[in-house]
Every structure is written in structure tokens, then in C-alpha cells.
């Protein structure tokens, strides 16, 4: 009989500072890029029989869901019209983050007009972050507390740049990742939503909520979902200190960090990098925190094979570029080829890390100080060889146009470095006929 694995069977420790415990028995499915991810989210919304609850940071009016489904609000309105309990927590920027209002559904008068015109029966609460920060969580919880409870979380925003197909055959594309999660750890996403809903900062204001029933709080979950798979998962967060006024006793093993906040994303990233012995694969739009860079530096000294994929159109921070002195480090970007044959840079909006072919994390947390210490963030860390293998294989299939299913994690990243450097040479020679999308962000002289 196969023995169930637990976190102690893996070399990478969990975050002891997290509000939520590690839970075994989960299933995780990677969803690469916005169009496939939101096609699956929409399918789940359309099949929902009880509830659809989401935390949303940014929503553009121009955003369209896949396959002619209309806007995200159209999809949600249709679910509400057939009796599904639809609740959304939207971020409302404060004066220090007001510039982001153009990208957010923050409760402007014209947005309330849109809700009235569509006779929307969804329920909404608006929520600010601590001044200067962002409520950056992106999660979708389908049929909370039922046998069919399913979660989607990651970094993908609701805008035309993000809801795009893999391969990125266009201009202005974002590359991003969600995961679909079912099993015991779904209860922690349920708890997180109820906690945020009940304490949303604007809930007592006339323009701080929408819909009949939005004035009512939610009960916290009390039952852990049944086992669905073999993955061990811990839901991890960034929560600013003092954000929530009180804890709520449940039998779920939840520990509250009320006064000091929660920084389990930061703690887990550091712990995973320190424990790495074979390979580290990162996709992140910002890697600039000195503590993280130093952990990466020490891993490179240990001989860990490392690939970091970051936005190609950004200036590379010196603190990150300094790691390029190591032969076992590849710093890469992505560029898709449009119909005119030209290569267009792809913005890396994913926030993920894979270590040693056995552990990974996917969510909303960037590797900068806002995400690690101030924003509201949400990640799923997992201990599961199969999930790590599938995610790396699907990512590298897109980025390298090469199958790696027969390669181990180190060899796969070495192949990534070779292809990225070859594509860099083609770029410098004016040849757009690359293998895949990935190219080294370092000039050939520095690569040699």
C-alpha cells in the first residue's frame, strides 16, 4: 500500500509563520496564460450550483472573457441571475495609490451606473489596503463549502493584455499563471475570503458595497473538504500588521498573526531557496529584495542550476544582474513573434518558483517589498513531484518549443540556458527565427 507523503518527506520546509497549516490530499492543475485560465474559470462559474466568490484587484472595462462570453461582469451576472450567490471583493485605491484607479473597478459613479443599468444582482464589497499598498490577491472560489468546492488563484488580472493565448503571437501581451486547486486546502481560501469580506474597509459606507444582502457578513468555514489528490499544500499570505481586528476560533488549525501581520510568502521563498540543492526556476516581474537576492547568491555558490525569467523591456536591476557572473545562472525574457515576423517583448506577470523538482509556489506575490511586506497577497505553496513536473514541462514547452518530460530538473534548466543564449545570438544578428520565446537578457559578450 502506498504511504501518504507529508511535508517532512521533502527537504524544503514549510512556512511556520503562516496563518494556515499544511494540508495533504489536494489536487493542483496549472493553467498557463490568461485565455486558457479564464476559459476554465468561466466553465467552473457556469457549472456552479451554490456560489462564486472572487477577490479582484484590477478589472478593465475592455476585458473580454474567452469564446465570446462577454465581459467578466457579464459572466458573473449570468451566474447570479440563475440563483448562484456571487460575491466580489474589489480593491479601492487610497490617495497614495490613486493612479491605479484607471485600472480598477473601484466604485466610481459610472461603475455604479453600469451595475444599475445591468440590474446586477451580484454582491460587492470594496476594500482598501494600508495606505500606499494594494489589495493584490486574485482568487476565485466556486461552490464554497460544498463537495464541488474548487479554487483558482494566481497573478492574472482582468484586462486585454492578460487574457491572451499561449505563444504570445501579438503585441502587448502578459505571460501569467493560475492554478486550479481542490481538496482540503480550499477551506483556507474560503476562510481568507470570509475574513476579507467581513472586514472590508468600506463596508459601512454608502458607496462601499452593492447589492441586497451585501450588508450581511459571512460565517467562517468549519469543515475541511475531503481528499481529492496527493499534493501537500499550504496557503500563504502577505497581510499588513494590524489589518484584521480579531481572530475567529475554528477547528481548522488556523493561527492568527493579528498584531504583526503575516509574511509567510517571504518566509517560504527564503526557506525554499535556502533548502535548494539541485535547481531553482523563477518567473517574476520584479526580483529586487536584497534578502531574496542573497539567498539566490548562496544557492548559486552551492552549484544550484538557476533560471530567472523577468520582463524583457525593463532595465535589469544591478542587484539581479550581478548574479550573472555564475555559469549556472540564466537570466531570460520572453518575446513572441507576431504575424509580421517581428519579435515583441512579453511582460512577465507570473509569480512562481519551482525548486528541486519537488516544491513550488504560484500566486500573486512579487519579489519586491510591496508584495512581501505590505500588499495583501495570496499564494499556494505545494509539495508534490508530479505537480512540479507538469508545471515546469508546460512552461518550458511554451518558452523553448521543446519537450522536457524525459529530462530531470537540472538538465531541463541547462537546456533552457542553452536555447536562451542561442536565441540571444539570433537577436543580435537580426534573425527572428528563434526556437521558442526565451532569450538571454545578457549581451553575448557577457555570456561568453
Residues 6 or more apart in contact with residue 45 via CB below 8 angstroms: 52, 75, 76, 79, 140, 142
For residues 311-327, average pLDDT: 92
Domains of the chain: 20-204 (3.30.870.10), 265-447 (3.30.870.10)
In percent, the amount of the chain with pLDDT more than 90 equals 89
The strand pairing partners of 331, in sequence order, are 308
pLDDT for res 241: 81
317: exposed, middle or buried (C-beta count within 10 Å: 0-12, 13-18, 19+)?
Answer: middle
Residue 218's SS3 state is: coil
Query: Which region among 1-10, 146-155, 281-290 has the lowest average model confidence (pLDDT)?
Result: 1-10
The closest alpha carbon to 186, from 157, 155, 229, 218, belongs to 229
For residues 66-87, average pLDDT: 98
CB atoms near residue 410 (< 10 Å): 17
Cell of 391: 508545471
For the chain, the distance separating the N- and C-terminal CA atoms, rounded to the nearest angstrom, is 52
pLDDT for res 282: 98
CA-atom Rg of the chain in angstroms: 21
For residues 240-259, average pLDDT: 64
Cell of 443: 549581451
For residues 292-321, average pLDDT: 95
The strand pairing partners of 235, in sequence order, are 380
The closest alpha carbon to 158, from 418, 314, 349, belongs to 349
- The band of 9, judged by pLDDT with boundaries at 50, 70 and 90, is confident
Angstrom distance (rounded) from CA 37 to CA 164: 9
Question: Chain centroid to CA 420: how far?
Answer: 24
Angstrom distance (rounded) from CA 313 to CA 140: 30
For residues 164-178, average pLDDT: 96
Residue 343's SS3 state is: strand
For residues 416-422, average pLDDT: 98
For residues 282-304, average pLDDT: 97
Place of cell 499550504: 234
Going from the C-alpha of 427 to that of each of 76, 335, 336, 395, 430, the distances in angstroms are: 44, 10, 12, 22, 5
For residues 367-396, average pLDDT: 97
Pairing mode, strands 209-210 and 359-363 = unpaired
Angstrom distance (rounded) from CA 43 to CA 53: 15
Sign of torsion, CA 426 430 435 438? positive
- The band of 2, judged by pLDDT with boundaries at 50, 70 and 90, is very low
In percent, the amount of the chain with pLDDT more than 70 equals 94
Angstrom distance (rounded) from CA 187 to CA 151: 9
Amino acid at each position: 500500500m502506498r504511504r501518504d507523503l507529508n511535508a517532512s518527506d521533502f527537504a524544503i520546509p514549510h512556512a511556520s509563520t503562516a496563518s494556515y497549516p499544511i494540508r495533504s490530499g489536494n489536487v493542483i492543475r496549472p493553467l498557463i496564460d490568461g485565455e486558457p485560465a479564464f476559459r476554465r474559470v468561466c466553465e467552473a462559474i457556469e457549472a456552479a450550483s451554490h456560489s462564486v466568490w472572487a477577490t479582484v484587484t484590477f478589472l478593465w472595462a475592455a476585458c473580454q472573457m474567452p469564446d465570446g462570453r462577454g465581459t467578466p461582469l457579464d459572466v458573473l451576472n449570468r451566474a447570479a441571475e440563475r440563483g448562484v450567490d456571487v460575491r466580489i471583493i474589489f480593491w479601492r485605491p487610497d490617495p497614495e495609490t490613486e493612479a491605479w484607479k484607471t485600472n480598477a473597478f473601484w466604485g466610481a459613479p459610472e461603475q455604479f451606473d453600469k451595475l444599475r443599468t445591468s440590474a446586477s444582482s451580484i454582491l460587492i464589497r470594496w476594500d482598501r489596503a494600508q495606505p500606499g499598498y494594494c489589495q493584490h490577491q486574485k482568487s476565485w472560489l466556486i461552490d464554497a463549502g460544498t463537495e464541488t468546492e474548487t479554487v483558482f488563484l494566481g497573478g492574472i488580472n482582468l484586462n486585454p493584455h492578460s487574457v491572451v493565448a499561449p505563444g504570445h503571437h501579438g503585441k502587448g501581451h502578459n505571460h501569467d499563471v493560475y492554478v486550479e486547486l481542490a481538496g482540503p486546502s480550499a477551506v483556507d481560501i474560503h476562510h481568507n475570503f470570509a475574513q476579507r469580506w467581513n472586514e472590508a474597509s468600506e463596508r459601512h459606507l454608502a458607496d462601499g458595497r452593492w447589492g441586497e444582502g451585501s450588508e450581511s457578513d459571512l460565517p467562517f468555514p468549519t469543515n475541511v473538504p475531503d481528499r481529492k489528490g496527493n499534493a501537500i499544500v499550504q496557503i500563504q499570505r502577505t497581510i499588513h500588521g494590524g489589518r484584521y481586528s480579531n481572530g475567529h476560533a475554528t477547528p481548522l488549525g488556523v493561527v492568527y498573526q493579528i498584531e504583526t501581520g503575516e509574511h509567510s510568502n517571504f518566509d517560504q521563498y527564503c526557506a525554499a531557496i535556502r533548502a535548494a540543492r539541485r535547481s531553482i526556476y523563477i518567473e517574476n516581474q520584479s526580483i529586487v529584495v536584497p534578502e531574496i537576492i542573497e539567498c539566490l547568491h548562496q544557492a548559486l555558490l552551492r552549484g544550484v542550476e538557476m533560471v530567472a525569467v523577468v520582463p524583457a523591456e525593463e532595465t535589469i536591476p544591478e542587484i539581479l544582474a550581478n548574479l550573472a557572473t555564475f555559469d549556472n545562472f540564466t537570466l531570460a525574457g520572453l518575446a513572441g513573434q507576431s504575424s509580421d515576423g517581428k519579435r515583441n517583448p512579453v511582460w512577465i506577470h507570473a509569480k512562481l518558483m519551482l525548486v528541486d523538482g519537488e516544491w513550488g509556489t504560484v500566486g500573486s506575490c512579487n519579489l519586491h517589498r510591496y508584495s512581501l511586506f505590505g500588499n495583501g497577497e495570496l499564494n499556494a505553496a505545494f509539495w508534490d513531484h508530479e505537480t512540479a513536473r507538469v508545471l515546469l514541462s508546460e512552461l518550458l514547452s511554451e518558452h523553448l518549443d521543446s519537450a522536457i518530460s524525459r529530462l530531470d530538473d537540472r538538465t531541463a534548466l541547462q537546456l533552457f540556458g542553452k536555447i536562451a543564449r542561442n536565441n540571444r545570438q539570433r537577436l543580435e544578428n537580426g534573425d527572428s527565427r528563434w526556437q521558442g520565446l526565451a532569450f538571454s537578457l545578457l549581451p553575448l559578450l557577457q555570456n561568453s
